[in-house]
C-alpha cells in the first residue's frame, strides 16, 4: 500500500520519551536502562527483561499492564498486540495516526531494544527438532520489522554493541539523529534476515536432499581485508572462520592467504587418519605432499618434490608440529605454517619471524559444508563438495598385472593428492611421496610431461612410481608417456571410449592399472 504523499518523511532529531525493551541477551542492559532513566525515559519491558531492569533499581512498566493480557502459551505470546505494534508503527507527525492511537489509549514509542532467541547458537548443539523449533523467536522479529520500518520516528537497537553509541548521543544532546536511526534500521533488517536465513537453512538440511529453489546465504562479516587478489581490489572475508582456524602469530591473513590456507587444509584433511602428512602449497596448488612415520621425514620428502616453489609458500600438517620438524621447515622462508597443534618450544622458535603466520587448525574434520559456491557471470554455481573417499574395495583392476600391496598404498596416496590439483592433473608418487605434479595443463599428456620434468629437475627417479590422473586418459599416448618415465602402476577414473586401447597399452608395457569410476576435476 502506498503512503499518501502528504505525510512528510521525518528526518529530524527524535527525542526518546518511551522505550520498549525485550532482550534475550542482557549484556549491557543495566547500563542502557540507567542511561534511559537518567534522561527521564519511560521504560516498558517484558518478562525476564523487566525483572532484570527492576533488579538493577530502574523503574519499569510490564508490557502485560499495557495490553491487559498476561504472557500466554508458556511465554510464546506476549508482544503480538495492537497496543505494542501501534506504538511502534504510528507516524508521529501524522495527525490521523495519533488520533487513532488516542482513541485506543495507545502511547507511541521512540525506541525499541530487542535481541532474539539464540537459534543460531542452539542448533550448533546436538538438539532435537522440537527444541530447535522452540527457539525460534516470533514476537522479536515482528517488533523489529515494525520499528525498523518506522525509522523516521523511531530508533531500533538489535545489538548490545550499539548501546554505547546511543548512550553517548543521549548524554550529549538528549536526542537521536536520523542518520543513526537509519543505520540502526539497516542493522535491524539485516539481523532479522540473517535470523530467518538460519532457520530456513536449518529446515532445508532436515527436509531436502536436493538444491533449494532459491539460494539464500548467511555469512557474517568476519573481517575487512587490506585488499583482494591485487592491491587495487577491495575485499572482505565472511563466515565463521574462527570455528576452523586460529591465527596464533603474525599479521592478518590476506585474500590470497585465505585461498591458500583453504587449499592446504583440504589436502591434509584427506589424510586425517593417516601417519604424519605434510603438504606444501603455492598459489592453491600442492608443490609437494608426503606421508611418513614422523613429521620431520614427511616434511623432507614433501620438500624434495620441489625445492623452489616452497619459498614463500604454505606448509600444512595433519599432526602436531614438534621442534625438530619446525627447525627443518624454518630453513626455508614459508609464509604460513598450519597444524592442529604446536609444541610450545616449536611455537616459540617459529614466532621469532614477525612476517610468518602460524595458524592452528581447530579440526581436521571436513571444513566443507553441504554445498560449495562459486560466483560466475553475476550468479552463483552451487555443487556438493568433492569429498568421496576410496579404499581397496572401490578399485577395479583392469590389467593383467595387479598392483602390489605397496603400489595400492601409493595409488591411494596419489589419488588423494591429484584430487586437490587443478585439472588437467597428473601426479607421480612412490613410497607415499609425490615425485612430480603436473597441474592446470590443457592436455593430459602435457600435464604428465610437466610432472616428469619437475621430477627430473629435482633428481627424483620415477622408476617404480605410480601415476594418478584426475580424469580418464583419452588416448594410449598418456600411458606410453608414463611407461617411458618408469611408472609401473596407474590409477584413473576410466570411462573413455578408448579404454580398451588404454588398457592394451598398459598391458603392453607390463603396467598395473586400476579404475576408480570417479573423476576429480578441479577448475
The reply to whether 149 belongs to the active site is yes
Task: Return d(Cα 125, Cα 131) in angstroms, integer.
Answer: 11
CB-CB neighbours of 65 under 10 Å = 10
β-strands 277-282, 313-317 pairing: antiparallel
- 273's torsion region: left (phi>0), alpha (psi -120 to 50) or beta? alpha
- 179-196 per-residue burial string, b: 16 or more CB within 10 A, e: under 16: ebbeebbebbbebbebbe
Grid coordinates of 154: 523511531
Measured CA to CA, the distance from residue 51 to residue 69 in angstroms comes to 18
CA Rg, the chain, in Å?
A: 31
Contacts of 111 (CB under 8 A, 6+ apart): 16, 18, 19, 20, 36, 41, 154, 155, 156, 157, 166, 176
**Distance between the two ends of the chain, CA-based, in angstroms?**
48
Quick check: is 283 catalytic? yes
- The 3-state DSSP class for residue 372 equals strand
Given a contact cutoff of 8 angstroms between Cβ atoms, the answer to whether 143 and 112 are in contact is yes
Among residues 283, 353, 360, 522, the one annotated as catalytic is: 283
Among residues 17, 149, 307, 353, the one annotated as catalytic is: 149
Residue pointed to by grid coordinates 491487559? 68
Q: Which residues are catalytic?
A: 149, 283
Amino acid at each position: 500500500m502506498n503512503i499518501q504523499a502528504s505525510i512528510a518523511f521525518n528526518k529530524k532529531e527524535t527525542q526518546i520519551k518511551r522505550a520498549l525493551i525485550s532482550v534475550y541477551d542482557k549484556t549491557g542492559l543495566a547500563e542502557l536502562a540507567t542511561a534511559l532513566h537518567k534522561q527521564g525515559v519511560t521504560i516498558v519491558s517484558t518478562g525476564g527483561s523487566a525483572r532484570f531492569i527492576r533488579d538493577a533499581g530502574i523503574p519499569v512498566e510490564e508490557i502485560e499492564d499495557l495490553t491487559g493480557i498476561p504472557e500466554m502459551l508458556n511465554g510464546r505470546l506476549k508482544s503480538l498486540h495492537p497496543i505494542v505494534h501501534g506504538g511502534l508503527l504510528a507516524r508521529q507527525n501524522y495527525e490521523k495516526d495519533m488520533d487513532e492511537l488516542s482513541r485506543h489509549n495507545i502511547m507511541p514509542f521512540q525506541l525499541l531494544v530487542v535481541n532474539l532467541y539464540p537459534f543460531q547458537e542452539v542448533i550448533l548443539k546436538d538438539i532435537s527438532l522440537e527444541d530447535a523449533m522452540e527457539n525460534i523467536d516470533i514476537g522479536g522479529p515482528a517488533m523489529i520489522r515494525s520499528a525498523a520500518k518506522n525509522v523516521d520516528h523511531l530508533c531500533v537497537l538489535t545489538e548490545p554493541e550499539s548501546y554505547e553509541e546511543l548512550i553517548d548521543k543521549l548524554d550529549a544532546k538528549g536526542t537521536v539523529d536520523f542518520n543513526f536511526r537509519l543505520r540502526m534500521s539497516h542493522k535491524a533488517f539485516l539481523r532479522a534476515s540473517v535470523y530467518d536465513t538460519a532457520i530456513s537453512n536449518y529446515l532445508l538440511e532436515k527436509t531436502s536432499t536436493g538444491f533449494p529453489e532459491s539460494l539464500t546465504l548467511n555469512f557474517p562479516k568476519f573481517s575487512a581485508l587490506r585488499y583482494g587478489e591485487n592491491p587495487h581490489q577491495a575485499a572482505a572475508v565472511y563466515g565463521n572462520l574462527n570455528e576452523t582456524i586460529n591465527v596464533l602469530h603474525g599479521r592478518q591473513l590476506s585474500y590470497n592467504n585465505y585461498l591458500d590456507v583453504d587449499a592446504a587444509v583440504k589436502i591434509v584433511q584427506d589424510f586425517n587418519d593417516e601417519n604424519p602428512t605434510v603438504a606444501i602449497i603455492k598459489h592453491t596448488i600442492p608443490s609437494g605432499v608426503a606421508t611418513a612415520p614422523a613429521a620431520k621425514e614427511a616434511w623432507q620428502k614433501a620438500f624434495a618434490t620441489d625445492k623452489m616453489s616452497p619459498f614463500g609458500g604454505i606448509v600444512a600438517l595433519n599432526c602436531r608440529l614438534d621442534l625438530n620438524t619446525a627447525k627443518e621447515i624454518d630453513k626455508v622462508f614459508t609464509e604460513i605454517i598450519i597444524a592442529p597443534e604446536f609444541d610450545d618450544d616449536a611455537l616459540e622458535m617459529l614466532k621469532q619471524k614477525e612476517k610468518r603466520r602460524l595458524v592452528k587448525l581447530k579440526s581436521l574434520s571436513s571444513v566443507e559444508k553441504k554445498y560449495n559456491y562459486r560466483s560466475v557471470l553475476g550468479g552463483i554455481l552451487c555443487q556438493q563438495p568433492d569429498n568421496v573417499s576410496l579404499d581397496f574395495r572401490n578399485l577395479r583392476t583392469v590389467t593383467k598385472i595387479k598392483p602390489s600391496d605397496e603400489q595400492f598404498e601409493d595409488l591411494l596416496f596419489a589419488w588423494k593428492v591429484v584430487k586437490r590439483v587443478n585439472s588437467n592433473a597428473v601426479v607421480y608418487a612412490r613410497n607415499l611421496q609425490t615425485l612430480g605434479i603436473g597441474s592446470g595443463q590443457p592436455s593430459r599428456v602435457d600435464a604428465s610431461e610437466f610432472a616428469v620434468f619437475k621430477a627430473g629437475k629435482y633428481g627424483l627417479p620415477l622408476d617404480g612410481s605410480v601415476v594418478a590422473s584426475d580424469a580418464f586418459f583419452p588416448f594410449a599416448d598418456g600411458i606410453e608417456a608414463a611407461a617411458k618415465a618408469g611408472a609401473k602402476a596407474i590409477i584413473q577414473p576410466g570411462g573413455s571410449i578408448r579404454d580398451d586401447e588404454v588398457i592394451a597399452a598398459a598391458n603392453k608395457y607390463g603396467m598395473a592399472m586400476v579404475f576408480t569410476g570417479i573423476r576429480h576435476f578441479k577448475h
